Amino acid sequence: MRLARTLRQAGEGSGSDGMSASVRIEVRADDPRAPAELAAVAAAAGADMAIISDPVAPIFVVTRGSDSNNVFTE
């Protein structure tokens, strides 16, 4: 839910489609369902997702546009 809200808020006021703002969001999640759920939210928002290996928990990087606005969450 936070990812969807952040992607939506990043797009507010940026264009008529509300989705043209560039954004980069990093999410650390250890839930086994996280990859599929985060990928679905990213796809619905027209964003891309990559996974970075980390010893504590994977980091999911969601980007849309030139990723000049950075947001980090756990």
CA distances from 13 to 8, 16, 34 (A): 10, 8, 29
Q: What is the pTM of this model?
A: 0.71
Per-residue pLDDT of the chain (74 residues; tens, 9 = 90+): 688 888 888 776 455 554 456 889 999 999 999 999 999 999 998 999 999 999 999 999 999 886 445 555 55
d(CA 67, CA 30): 24
d(CA 46, CA 23): 11
Residue 62: exposure state from Cβ atoms within 10 A (0-12, 13-18, ≥19): buried
